[in-house]
Amino acid sequence: MSVNVMAMNCRPEDVFDVLADGWMFPTWVVGASRMRAVEAGWPEVGGRLHHSFGMWPLVIDDTTTMLEWDPPRRAVMKPAGWPLGEAMVIFEVRERSAARGGGCVVRMTEWAEAGPGTLVPDLVADPVLRVRNHETMRRLAFMAEGRGGTHAD
């Protein structure tokens, strides 16, 4: 299981605005290369994003389903890109006190849920996911902070 935590200079609502905009998914998710469709129900529970990941010509069509949507606190998503398998991704967001600089703290947790990815030992998978998700969180911060705050980098 990979866990990334990042302080962001924005409101939790700004983070959830980015998560709710399905068409923006490939701009902040590392590896997502294009959007194919955003179902009308996104981001509500059961809503799906149809996207692809990888670099052309090695692109796999992927679908992400929203399993839990509780803005501005928690979102749980299930990406599925067979033949690689399925994952679980949880975003938990909480406000930071003014004494700690304001803004919010975002925690992203990801693990392989089904398929060949579950056979990769955590000792191998977690460091790779942590590096990938660090950049994913940086991109999410740029977008969320651009909506409601300023980025420190």
- pLDDT per residue over 94-135, tens digit each? 999 888 889 999 999 999 999 999 999 999 999 999 999 999
**CATH, residue 73:** 3.30.530.20
Asked whether residue 47 is assigned to any structural domain, the reply reads yes
Beta carbons of 140 and 148 less than 8 angstroms apart = no
Asked whether residue 56 is assigned to any structural domain, the reply reads yes
Helix (H) / strand (E) element for 110: namely strand 104-114
Asked whether residue 153 is assigned to any structural domain, the reply reads no
- What is the domain count for the chain? 1
Q: Which pTM value belongs to this model?
A: 0.92
Q: Mind listing the pLDDT tens digit for each residue in 64-76?
A: 999 999 999 999 9
Asked whether residue 65 is assigned to any structural domain, the reply reads yes
Asked whether residue 40 is assigned to any structural domain, the reply reads yes
Domain span at residue 38? 2-148
